[in-house]
Copies of this chain bind each other. A is one copy, B any other.
Amino acid sequence: MGKVFLNVMDPDEVKKIIESLQIQRKIENVPLSDVYQRLLAEDIYASIDLPPFDRSAMDGYAVCAQDTFGASEDDPVSLDLIEKVGAGNVPLKKVGEGRCTEVGTGAPMPEGADAVVMVEFTDSHDDRILISEAVAPGANMAACGSDMKKGELLLSKGTLLTPEKIGVLSAIGISTAPVFVKPTVAVISTGNELIKPDQELQYGKLYDINSETISNAVKSCGCIPLYSEIVKDDYDSIKSKINEFKHADVIITSGGTSAGAGDVLRRVVDDMGRVLVHGISVKPGKPTLIGTLPDENVDIILFGLPGYPISALMIFESFVAPFLREMSGVSGYVNKKESFVVKLAHRYHSARGRSHLVLVKIKGDVASPILKDSGAITAFAEADAYFEVPKNVEIIEKDEEIEVIPLSGLF
């Protein structure tokens, strides 16, 4: 086995390199029924006034406000009822002095009327309506354009399309919205020992885990995972699989990155593009590789994660996820609630010289580190979050406050 020695970099240095990677955001028009939790790619301006006409805000009677002045329960004013207009109908008669029109909530205001008296303050006797409350002009109605005027900025580029924001888009009658295209991320597991689900488990083989953990973590970052077959850990297989996914924006591999393991991926990326990082001073995940592959407009970004499932997910969460969220545009929203402070359940001892990423189980405001080796998949069954121990810290005491980051995909 040829040995390649890692040029181990500091996590902060690696994060700076990742932040400097070039991103290209594309735009697509998507039907409103499918834009939930997508990000608006353009500013949206009102194309109509809202409401688009003077409308009644209550069930009642449209009047000339002046006619009601002085009206009270003891001394009601009597008006002639000339028409009944429900929501969605069009008033045909003009409301003159001494007259009124019955209006439903949402009905257009008849010409001449400038206020609505709520039905609760009236009494009807055939075509005579007794008004027992004085109203000011504009009462109980919404004037055309009072909510928003045609041409006003409604929603800004980058807005996360939550239910009420989608409602705002409906209000101006559009059926599709311009949103950022979700970046595509190929997820490739490498390893001669790996098999797919439902295959018979022969001696020496293991079911592939990283395809699912990484693909679903990719979804949680607002990107679309592209599933791949499992790839054998040799130069030609890896190179040809990467070539197959050159239409993706990002390629994530796992396995085949350790210097001692023959370092196949390193050689492939050296030949196809450029290795930016190979080796991070972090545990687990030291042999991580980051590279770029030249493409027409923007380079394809390649992340080579370690093969152990826990190492792979920890490196994904800490280094790859922030980049993918930036790329898809969800970063502002996801980060808002991301980390929180809890107490450590018991003393944690870390090795100096490398920062540590530690899975924890949260119960109330206490975090218990999950102390299993990075090959132990059951750690995932218990884990809720993780925290980072900086490289110069050796011991964190019981009850000390730590900042934990929930694993991707928690609501």
Listed in ascending order, the chain A residues whose CB lies under 8 Å from chain B are 1, 32-33, 36-37, 48, 50-53, 57, 59, 86-90, 104-108, 119, 142, 146-148, 154-155, 160, 162-175, 191-199, 201, 203-217, 219-220, 227, 233, 258, 260-261, 307, 309, 313, 330, 333-334, 336-337, 372-373, 375-378, 380-381, 383, 407-411
Residue numbers in B under 8 Å from A258 (CB-CB): 59, 105
CA of A170 to CA of B219, assembled, Å: 17
Q: With A108-B203, A205-B88 as given contacts, are A170 and B213 in contact (CB-CB < 8 Å)?
A: yes
Residue of B nearest to A153 (CB): B381
CA distance A333 to B411 in the complex (A): 6
Extra pairs beyond A88-B194, A148-B378, A167-B313 (17, CB < 8 Å): A51-B375, A52-B203, A88-B204, A90-B203, A105-B261, A107-B193, A142-B376, A160-B410, A162-B408, A163-B213, A163-B216, A168-B381, A170-B208, A171-B209, A171-B377, A173-B197, A337-B337
* A411 in contact with B37 given A148-B378, A168-B381, A197-B175 (CB within 8 Å): yes
CB distance from A25 to the nearest CB of B (A): 18
Selected contact of A86 from candidates B57, B146, B166, B192, CB within 8 Å: B192
Query: Per DSSP, are chain A's interface residues mostly helix, strand or loop, or mixed?
Result: loop
Of the A-B pairs whose beta carbons lie under 8 Å apart in the complex, a sample of 22, sorted by A's number, is A32-B212, A36-B220, A57-B375, A59-B258, A59-B261, A88-B192, A88-B204, A89-B204, A104-B261, A106-B206, A147-B375, A148-B378, A163-B212, A163-B407, A163-B408, A164-B383, A166-B216, A167-B309, A170-B208, A171-B377, A174-B197, A333-B410
Q: Is the CB of B87 within 8 A of A191?
A: yes
Closest residue of B by beta carbon distance from A227: B33
Report how far A173 CA is from B90 CA in the complex, Å. Answer: 65
Partner of A36, one of B59, B233, B409: B409
* Closest A-B pairs by Cβ, 9 of them: A88-B192, A88-B193, A167-B213, A163-B216, A162-B409, A59-B260, A175-B197, A164-B380, A87-B193
How many subunits of this chain does the assembly comprise? 2
| The residue from B50, B173, B213, B375 contacting A198, defined by CB atoms under 8 A apart | B173
Query: Would B197 and A170 count as touching, CB distance under 8 A?
Result: yes
A259 CB, min distance to chain B CBs, angstroms: 9
CB-CB under 8 A from A215, the residues of chain B are: 33, 163
Give the distance in Å from the alpha carbon of A205 to the alpha carbon of B175 in the complex. Answer: 17
Chain B residue nearest to A219 in the complex (CB): B36
Give which listed residue, B106, B147, B166, B191, contacts A88 with CB less than 8 A: B191
Asked whether, in the complex, the Cβ of B313 is within 8 Å of the Cβ of A164, the reply is yes
A173 is contacted by which of B37, B207, B219, B313 (Cβ under 8 Å)? B207
Hey, which chain B residues are within 8 Å of A197, CB to CB?
Answer: 32, 170, 173-175
Question: Complex formed: what's the CA distance from A32 to B336 in Å?
Answer: 29
Assuming the contacts A261-B59, A336-B411, asked whether A53 and B204 have C-beta atoms less than 8 A apart, the reply is: yes
| Contact residues in B for A307 (Cβ distance below 8 Å) | 105-106
Question: Do residues A170 and B209 form an inter-chain contact, with CB atoms below 8 A?
Answer: yes
Residue in B closest to A340 when the chains form the complex, CB atoms: B337
Partner among B106, B196, B227, B336 whose Cβ is within 8 Å of the Cβ of A193: B106
